[in-house]
Amino acid sequence: MATAAILKLLLYLFWISLLFLSGSLQLCIEEERKALLSVRSGFPSVDRVLSPWKGNECCSWNGVGCNSITGHVIKLDFSFRYPLHRGIFSNRSEVHPLLFHLKHLKYLDISGNNLSSHQIPGSIGSLTQLQHLDLSGCWFQGEIPYQLGSLSNLRYLSLSFNEISGQIPASFVHLSNLQFLDLSYNNISGEIPEDIGNLRNIECLFFCYNQIEGTIGNLTALQKLDLSGNQINGKIPDSMRNLLQLDVLSISQNNISGLIPDALGSLCNLSTINLSYNSITGSVVEFFEQLSRCRINKGLSHDLHDNQFSGLFPSPFERLQRLVFLDLGSNQLSDSVPASLGKLSALMTLSLCSNYLVGDITEAHFANLTNLYYMDISDNNLSVKVSQDWLPPFQAVGIRMGSCNLGPRFPPWVRNQTILNELDISNNGISDAFPDWFWSSCTSNLELDVSQNHMRGMLPRSLECFKDVCKLNLSYNNFEGFIPRMQLSDAYLDFSYNSFSGPIPSSLADNAVYMSLSNNKLNGSIPSSVCTGNFLEGIDLGNNDLSGTLPDCFRYESELMILDVSNNKLSGRIPSTLGFLRRLQSVHLNHNRLSGTIPTTLIQCIALVVIDFSWNELSGDILSWIGPELSSLRVLSLRSNKFTGEIPSKLSLMPSLQILDLAHNLFSGLLPPSFDYQTNNDGVTEEGHMLEDDEDGGIWYFSGFAPGFIFGFWGFMGGSSLVLTTKCTGEEAKNGEGERQLTGGWTADSSYAVENMCLCCSIFHSWCFMELARKVSISGSQRS
Ligand SMILES: *[C@@H]1O[C@H](CO)[C@@H](O)[C@H](O)[C@H]1NC(C)=O
Ligand SMILES: *[C@@H]1O[C@H](CO)[C@@H](O)[C@H](O)[C@H]1NC(C)=O
Ligand SMILES: *[C@@H]1O[C@H](CO)[C@@H](O)[C@H](O)[C@H]1NC(C)=O
Ligand SMILES: *[C@@H]1O[C@H](CO)[C@@H](O)[C@H](O)[C@H]1NC(C)=O
Ligand SMILES: *[C@@H]1O[C@H](CO)[C@@H](O)[C@H](O)[C@H]1NC(C)=O
Ligand SMILES: *[C@@H]1O[C@H](CO)[C@@H](O)[C@H](O)[C@H]1NC(C)=O
Ligand SMILES: *[C@@H]1O[C@H](CO)[C@@H](O)[C@H](O)[C@H]1NC(C)=O
Ligand SMILES: *[C@@H]1O[C@H](CO)[C@@H](O)[C@H](O)[C@H]1NC(C)=O
Ligand SMILES: *[C@@H]1O[C@H](CO)[C@@H](O)[C@H](O)[C@H]1NC(C)=O
Ligand SMILES: *[C@@H]1O[C@H](CO)[C@@H](O)[C@H](O)[C@H]1NC(C)=O
Ligand SMILES: *[C@@H]1O[C@H](CO)[C@@H](O)[C@H](O)[C@H]1NC(C)=O
Ligand SMILES: *[C@@H]1O[C@H](CO)[C@@H](O)[C@H](O)[C@H]1NC(C)=O
């Protein structure tokens, strides 16, 4: 009997489910169904993530939810979460007005759709039932409509990653049920509304990366607060002491000054603090004291780097066993580091770099750091003193100990760091060669900096067992022998200032971003991989023994910004494909044996800031490739070549030109009138600087310039500036440097080249003087 009853029941259930499946119990409301279809047609990208809507039962459609009794649509999820970097761009969408007929919506998510050039529609304020509204990543522009303030049922509101500007509307204070508010990554400015304190239920407030000012009032329920990347000034307000539930606080990248309030340390629920990139001063000792009194079992993360904390090193480490992340880097701490640091057994990341810390770091400092994963103690005045047979209790992926007095031996304990891929032991007085075992570790993604030591010896012929070298800085050592073959990945290579010899491996530049092999004894020719390297932004091969011609294979796609092959024995012509380098900012071909004319294609390199072709055998006139198109050009040196013809007057039309050196060529004729210094400038005498006539005739000297003056001066001169060369006198001349050419010292920011040139004046507190040629020689003049 019982079985029959069960059978009946099962049959009944089967019927019920069949009814549901066949849709005869239709829930969907016809009007809302039509509205949904119209709304969907406005979001074309959604077709990639939602299956097509079939049938009439809209409540069963993908992305739609209904109230099971009334049948009203209460949920609509059109989120399009395709990562942008996959190259999938969302097609332009429209918000159909029928959306606002779905009055019962509680949940609306259209994040990630492309509503660029639209504003957030104010009509959203009519959807008063909304509890969850996600409009993030929609490229919305304009201001936040005040109507959003009528959504008093809202618990979750995200407008992050749009292009919203203007202020936070005052009407937001009516959102009294709001628990989560995210306005990050917009262009919202102005003060945080004063009565934001009315949002008593708010738990997460993310305002990062806007231009918001002001302070946070009295949000006692707040658990997570992120205000990083704004323009908040002044001190951390004392009212923070009321935020007893606060768990995460990030106010990095603002302009916060003053002391760190002790009260912050007494917020025992606070486990993550990020105050980095501000100007907070004073001591951190009291703060850590407070913190150590809390009895809560959560991991702690304290990111305080890039501030102006000074004074003593905090030390209550016996009681801070929960500390997982500690970054005090780039501050002004000037104490010694207590050995109790070694008790932080939970610590995974430790950075103390770039302070004024003193004293010894011993094995005790690491005694119980068994979880340490990343450490940076570089750039202090510390001495790491551990025994030769020390075995670190941790296995780290990154160890940075630049300037830590590790030498003269290569640290043997590195051998036991089996997962290490980032090692900085630069400037440590190490005079060993690399131990053989070092090259057999073959870790992937190697980032190694051993620069500024006295290391010697040869490298293996191949480092190809290291899968993907990312950074190798061997500069300023005494290495010799060949440059090894390597497998690179967007790598930064710096082999400069050693005694490497032999040829440059042919494919070296293929996967490098930056490559400096300068100041070695390399010979052979320049491999064509300098043209074909896809990511190459800078190459410095200066001061070697390279010969042959410059490869003629540069391409339009190239990212190359800096090219320095100065002081070699290169011959032949300047390749015309050089003109394809549209990003090229700084080109140094000086001190070679290049001949022929300068290719006219050069005028396409409109990003150029510095051209140094001096001391070659270049000839022809300069008219054909120079002109105001090179509107960023600040330095042009053609000194000591065989250029002929007249000096084109359009040189004076070059808007940014500050330094022009044409001396020692075969130019003829007179200076174009636009160069006439005296008619254009009386500022110099007003500034009280001297103008002297040189006895050899025609050369003007300015003397007594204060460092820095040169730029002000040439700014004043505007387009008609003309300098032939700079000389450094005083101390630098005494040091035998004499005339300083426009080479060396540049970085990816090639404007530095210009500044560097004058640095020679300011560093040595002497003065520079400039030769100004009135009559730029003068046919027949000889190269010196
Ligand atoms: C955008 O539209 C184009 C052409 O209509 C289509 O090929 C592409 O897949 C669409 N992209 C998305 C993300 O829907
Ligand atoms: C949005 O659509 C516009 C117009 O089709 C397009 O120009 C833009 O690149 C798109 N933006 C994104 C992020 O897909
Ligand atoms: C940001 O907003 C300010 C005005 O508040 C405006 O001047 C600026 O152009 C905006 N920036 C962007 C990137 O939209
Ligand atoms: C903050 O809230 C507390 C308790 O709700 C209240 O006593 C205090 O006066 C408020 N302070 C401010 C500055 O509004
Ligand atoms: C920390 O937060 C919890 C709830 O999240 C709360 O019960 C507790 O009182 C808070 N602790 C302190 C010290 O305020
Ligand atoms: C602190 O914030 C900065 C950005 O402002 C971020 O780069 C850094 O990773 C944050 N620190 C931690 C520990 O998350
Ligand atoms: C940063 O704060 C200092 C004073 O603490 C102030 O002088 C300066 O103007 C502020 N900078 C900005 C950009 O607001
Ligand atoms: C290291 O930690 C262990 C357990 O966490 C503890 O027993 C030991 O005393 C600690 N040693 C030192 C030197 O702090
Ligand atoms: C480094 O510390 C030593 C003493 O430990 C001191 O003699 C030296 O002057 C300090 N150097 C710098 C640059 O502070
Ligand atoms: C450290 O390296 C030595 C030599 O390779 C090895 O014998 C020892 O087991 C290693 N110890 C640890 C803890 O990895
Ligand atoms: C290599 O190290 C030197 C000196 O420490 C530094 O000046 C240079 O910028 C570094 N090179 C790279 C590519 O990081
Ligand atoms: C490079 O120099 C070495 C000696 O250091 C010499 O044997 C070799 O022939 C030179 N190669 C070229 C191409 O000049």
- Angstrom CA distances, 535 to 483, 485, 542, 560, stand at 20, 18, 20, 8
The number of the ligand nearest the C-alpha atom of 526 reads 12
Closest approach atom of ligand 2 to CA 114: 1
Q: Count CB neighbours of 750 within 10 A.
A: 23
Q: pLDDT confidence of 27, banded at 50, 70, 90?
A: confident
Average pLDDT on 595-615 reads: 93
SS3 250: strand
Name the nearest CA neighbour of 97 among 56, 117, 126, 77: 126
The alpha carbon of 117 and the centre of ligand 3 are apart by a number of angstroms equal to 15
SS3 501: strand
Which has more pLDDT, 414 or 83?
A: 414
Q: Tens digits of per-residue pLDDT, 553-599?
A: 999 989 999 999 999 999 999 999 999 999 999 999 999 999 999 99
Percent of the chain topping pLDDT 90: 55
Cβ pair 483, 509 in contact under 8 A: no
Is residue 218 within 6 Å of ligand 4 at its C-beta? yes
SS3 648: coil
Instruction: Check residue 119 and report its DSSP letter.
Output: B
512 CB burial (10 A radius; 0-12, 13-18, 19+): buried
Q: Count CB neighbours of 14 within 10 A.
A: 10
What is the average pLDDT score of the chain?
81
pLDDT of 674 > 90? The answer is no
Total residues found in the chain within this entry = 784
Is residue 321 within 6 Å of ligand 8 at its C-beta? no
The alpha carbon of 425 and the centre of ligand 9 are apart by a number of angstroms equal to 19
Cβ pair 437, 413 in contact under 8 A: no
Type of residue numbered 148: L
The number of the ligand nearest the C-alpha atom of 356 reads 9
Percent of the chain topping pLDDT 70: 80
Sign of the torsion formed by the C-alpha atoms of 683, 685, 687 and 692? positive
DSSP string of 599-644, one letter each residue: PGGGGG-TT--EEE--SSEEEE-SGGG-STT-TT--EEE--SSEEE
The alpha carbon of 477 and the centre of ligand 11 are apart by a number of angstroms equal to 12
The secondary structure of the chain in percent helix, strand, coil, rounded to multiples of 5, reads 20, 25, 55
Question: Residue 514: beta bridge partners?
Answer: 492, 538
pLDDT for residue 14: 56
- Classify each residue of 370-391 as buried b or exposed e, where b means 16 or more C-beta atoms within 10 Å of its C-beta: ebbbbbbbbbbebebebeeebe
Closest approach atom of ligand 1 to CA 48: 14
Show the beta-strand stretches assigned E in 204-262: 204-206, 211-213, 224-226, 233-234, 248-250, 255-256
Which has more pLDDT, 769 or 588?
A: 588
**Choice from 358, 378, 382 to test ligand 9 binding pocket (greatest atom count within 8 A of CB):** 358
Show the beta-strand stretches assigned E in 694-755: 699-705, 725-728
Which has more pLDDT, 10 or 165?
A: 165
Q: pLDDT confidence of 382, banded at 50, 70, 90?
A: very high
Q: What are phi and psi of 737, to 5 degrees?
A: -80, -25
Q: Tens digits of per-residue pLDDT, 758-768?
A: 222 222 222 22
The number of the ligand nearest the C-alpha atom of 80 reads 1
- Classify each residue of 622-636 as buried b or exposed e, where b means 16 or more C-beta atoms within 10 Å of its C-beta: beebbebbbebbbbb
The number of the ligand nearest the C-alpha atom of 235 reads 7
- Classify each residue of 281-320 as buried b or exposed e, where b means 16 or more C-beta atoms within 10 Å of its C-beta: bebbbebbbbbbebeeeeebbbbbbbbebbeebbbebebb
Cβ pair 639, 661 in contact under 8 A: yes
Angle at 262 (CA atoms; ends 260, 263), nearest 5 degrees: 110
Q: pLDDT confidence of 691, banded at 50, 70, 90?
A: very low
pLDDT for residue 219: 73
Which protein residue has the closest C-alpha to ligand 4 atom 2? 218
pLDDT of 152 > 90? The answer is yes
Q: pLDDT confidence of 2, banded at 50, 70, 90?
A: low
Question: Residue 449: beta bridge partners?
Answer: 424, 473
Fold exhibited by the domain 549-773: 3.80.10
Is residue 492 within 6 Å of ligand 11 at its C-beta? yes
Is residue 494 within 6 Å of ligand 11 at its C-beta? yes
The alpha carbon of 216 and the centre of ligand 4 are apart by a number of angstroms equal to 12
pLDDT for residue 781: 26
pLDDT for residue 82: 65
* 320-334, 532-546, 635-649: least confidently modelled range: 635-649
Is residue 187 within 6 Å of ligand 3 at its C-beta? yes
pLDDT for residue 759: 26
Is residue 495 within 6 Å of ligand 11 at its C-beta? no
Which protein residue has the closest C-alpha to ligand 9 atom 8? 381
Average pLDDT on 775-780 reads: 22
pLDDT for residue 535: 86
Interatomic CA distance for residues 175 and 157, integer angstroms: 10
The alpha carbon of 368 and the centre of ligand 8 are apart by a number of angstroms equal to 6
Q: Tens digits of per-residue pLDDT, 228-258?
A: 999 888 888 877 888 888 999 999 999 999 9
Interatomic CA distance for residues 9 and 87, integer angstroms: 54
Question: Residue 703: beta bridge partners?
Answer: 690
Closest approach atom of ligand 9 to CA 381: 1
Type of residue numbered 237: P
The alpha carbon of 93 and the centre of ligand 2 are apart by a number of angstroms equal to 9
Interatomic CA distance for residues 497 and 517, integer angstroms: 8
Average pLDDT on 165-184 reads: 92
- Pairing mode, if any, of strands 488-494 and 642-645? unpaired
- Cis before residue 460, ω within 30 degrees of 0? no
Cβ pair 394, 373 in contact under 8 A: yes
Average pLDDT on 186-198 reads: 81
Closest approach atom of ligand 6 to CA 228: 5
The alpha carbon of 494 and the centre of ligand 10 are apart by a number of angstroms equal to 31
Q: Count CB neighbours of 783 within 10 A.
A: 13
pLDDT for residue 13: 57
Q: pLDDT confidence of 218, banded at 50, 70, 90?
A: low
Question: Residue 611: beta bridge partners?
Answer: 587, 636
Is residue 440 within 6 Å of ligand 10 at its C-beta? no
The alpha carbon of 255 and the centre of ligand 5 are apart by a number of angstroms equal to 30
Which protein residue has the closest C-alpha to ligand 9 atom 11? 381
Q: pLDDT confidence of 83, banded at 50, 70, 90?
A: low
pLDDT of 696 > 80? The answer is no
Is residue 257 within 6 Å of ligand 7 at its C-beta? yes
Interatomic CA distance for residues 347 and 377, integer angstroms: 14
- Name, of 405-419, 655-669, 727-741, 759-773, the range with top average pLDDT: 405-419
The alpha carbon of 695 and the centre of ligand 8 are apart by a number of angstroms equal to 80
**Choice from 458, 483, 523 to test ligand 12 binding pocket (greatest atom count within 8 A of CB):** 523
Interatomic CA distance for residues 61 and 55, integer angstroms: 9
pTM of the entire predicted model: 0.80
Type of residue numbered 514: Y
Closest approach atom of ligand 7 to CA 255: 1
Interatomic CA distance for residues 131 and 124, integer angstroms: 12
Structural element, H or E, at residue 74: strand 73-77
* 243-252, 425-434, 551-560, 745-754: least confidently modelled range: 745-754
Interatomic CA distance for residues 445 and 470, integer angstroms: 6
Is residue 416 within 6 Å of ligand 10 at its C-beta? yes
pLDDT for residue 697: 27
Sign of the torsion formed by the C-alpha atoms of 590, 594, 598 and 604? negative
pLDDT of 654 > 70? The answer is yes
Is residue 255 within 6 Å of ligand 7 at its C-beta? yes
Average pLDDT on 723-736 reads: 34
- In sequence order, the 6+-apart residues with CB closer than 8 A to the CB of 59 are 27, 28, 65, 66, 71, 73
Average pLDDT on 516-526 reads: 96
pLDDT for residue 265: 83
Interatomic CA distance for residues 324 and 320, integer angstroms: 9
Which protein residue has the closest C-alpha to ligand 2 atom 4? 92
Q: pLDDT confidence of 356, banded at 50, 70, 90?
A: very high
